[in-house]
Amino acid sequence: MNSFHSRCFRTIGALLMAVMVTVACSSGKPAEPAKSAADATTNSNTGSNKTQQAPAYKASTDPVTITFYNAGNINSYYEQYIAEHIHKKMPHVTIDYIRQAGDITLTNTIASGTIPDVIYMVSTAIPAYKELGVLGELDSLVKSHQINMGNLLDGLEASTRIYGEHGELLYMPWGLSNWATYYNKDIFDRFAVEYLKNGMTWDDIYQKAKQLTRTDSGVDYRGFDFNPDRPIQSNQLSMPFVDPKTGKAVVNTAGWKKLFETFGQFYRIPGNEPAKDRKVADFHTGKVAIIAGATQFPQLIQRINKGEKINVDIVSFPTFPEAPKTSLQTVTAGFAIPAQSKHRDQAMDIIQLMLSDEVQKEGAEILRLPVVKNKEVYQTLGQAYPELKSMNLGALTYNSNAVTKSVTEYDDLSQKVLNQKFDQYKEGKADVNTLLREAEEEINKKIAEVKQQ
């Protein structure tokens, strides 16, 4: 494989969140946040001393075989950014590797009698795997291994514990998805429009989109586009779809109305109407001024490596005034340990290694955003890609993620209904009040059908 293709392959694999963020399993039972089981622990690396310290766990170096189930990413990514660290730091561990593909699913793997010791997955899959009964609680391991959960980014532990029936920890985050606003400076320059900056709201971007949507020299320029599905599903205002106490939909509200109107206004701009096939305009044609969403770095790097001169930069993902510096709710890549595993301690050793500064710094280098607070980790942000050196990569960490406040087993069906209703709204088929009323009625009807099954 020549150097160009090798680098592009590594780039696409390395930018984890661009692949994993599209997973959309969102069913789970209501949960109340619980106090971290690690509140009385000490992190062996960077944590501070706490009272009621748990007995120190002594890692064993006895040979052990760990069954590692990869439900998340391509094999080369696993080999380079996970297995390599295990082989280097834990030579006594032999990995029995299983990659999810085709008929190889977690359900079939378990049915065959194989219980993974570690499951590598995306956080939105927690409810589905929880239903299989394989996600073991991690609190006892967090305590015995003296992992300081306070080292995680603010709100991340709470957003993870929300999936536990009683607030227990079922999953350990490892890398964050990244969201940003990408803009084509050439189009801004053509129409003498001031560049974007960090901290802009959706309304700020709307004003820019109006200025930039126009026809010039026979070329139609689109001011803005994005895929609204994830911004609805992981909304920045942390609005629930279903009340976990009543089991009834709560989408016919002022908050959801504001979200629909905020997103929908872009499609009311003459020349910026929605595509009939729901496809998002291709930012890389040079005819789209601004796009907001998941990573565009693999495409940008490929273009640069092909010799194309690009004039693109990024700023933080647009926000709402009432939630400044707040991006979408957290979507992470991470790990779970089945309750049935016979090697839970050794599995947690692997997870603890993945949370180390060394591995988290590597994540920052390849733009797998760290899950820890340590500022030194972020100093390596994007360094694996010199092609991006001139870009405002700090925009990726300018916002914090919105906290997930509740989840229910009906969220997935609710999200699908809302996405359908927003499609109708952006196409001007009905007013927002009618659509949200219909959405609530349809969700409640579907919930009733599920309960009768």
Q: So where are the chain's domains?
A: 3-177+330-373, 180-328+411-452
Tokens of 391: 């870009």
d(Cα 192, Cα 321) in Å, to the nearest integer?
Answer: 27
- For residue 53, what pLDDT is reported? 54
Can you spell out the DSSP letters for 105-119? -HHHHHHTT---SEE
Decide the pairing of beta strands 172-176 and 64-70: unpaired
Phi-psi sector, 148: left (phi>0), alpha (psi -120 to 50), beta:
beta
Kindly provide the b/e burial profile for residues 423-453, where b requires at least 16 CB atoms within 10 angstroms of the residue's own CB: eebbeeeeebeebbebbbebbbebbeeeeee
d(Cα 186, Cα 219) in Å, to the nearest integer?
Answer: 14
Among 132, 116, 140, which Cα is nearest to 335's? 116
Mean pLDDT per 10-residue section of the chain, whose length is 453 residues: 42 38 33 36 36 65 97 88 97 97 94 96 91 94 96 94 95 94 98 98 98 97 96 96 96 98 98 86 95 94 94 98 96 96 97 97 95 95 94 96 92 96 96 98 97 90
Phi, psi of 67 (to 5 degrees): -85, 115
d(Cα 94, Cα 71) in Å, to the nearest integer?
Answer: 19
Helix (H, G, I), strand (E, B) or coil at 297: helix
Tokens of 428: 């001007």
d(Cα 261, Cα 422) in Å, to the nearest integer?
Answer: 10
Phi, psi of 178 (to 5 degrees): -120, 135
- For residue 57, what pLDDT is reported? 77
Tokens of 19: 């692949």
The DSSP output letter for 44 is S
- For residue 29, what pLDDT is reported? 33
Angle at 139 between CA 340 and CA 168, to 5 degrees: 90
Whether residue 337 contacts residue 117, with contact meaning beta carbons closer than 8 Å, is answered with: yes
What element of type H or E holds 438? Answer: helix 432-452
Whether residue 176 contacts residue 360, with contact meaning beta carbons closer than 8 Å, is answered with: no
Among 182, 197, 202, 198, which Cα is nearest to 321's? 202
Phi, psi of 54 (to 5 degrees): -75, 155
First to last CA, the chain: 53
Q: Would 3-177+330-373 and 180-328+411-452 be classified into the same CATH topology?
A: yes
Whether residue 404 contacts residue 331, with contact meaning beta carbons closer than 8 Å, is answered with: no
Classify domain 3-177+330-373 at the CATH superfamily level. Periplasmic binding protein-like II (3.40.190.10)
- For residue 55, what pLDDT is reported? 62
Contacts of 47 (CB under 8 A, 6+ apart): 41, 146, 147, 148, 150, 151
Contacts of 137 (CB under 8 A, 6+ apart): 164, 168, 169, 170, 339
Fold of 180-328+411-452: D-Maltodextrin-Binding Protein; domain 2 (3.40.190)
Tokens of 338: 């089945």
Enter the pTM of the model.
Answer: 0.85
d(Cα 280, Cα 265) in Å, to the nearest integer?
Answer: 16
Quickly tell me which residue has 């053509």 as its tokens: 190
Tokens of 156: 């991340």
Phi, psi of 312 (to 5 degrees): -125, 145
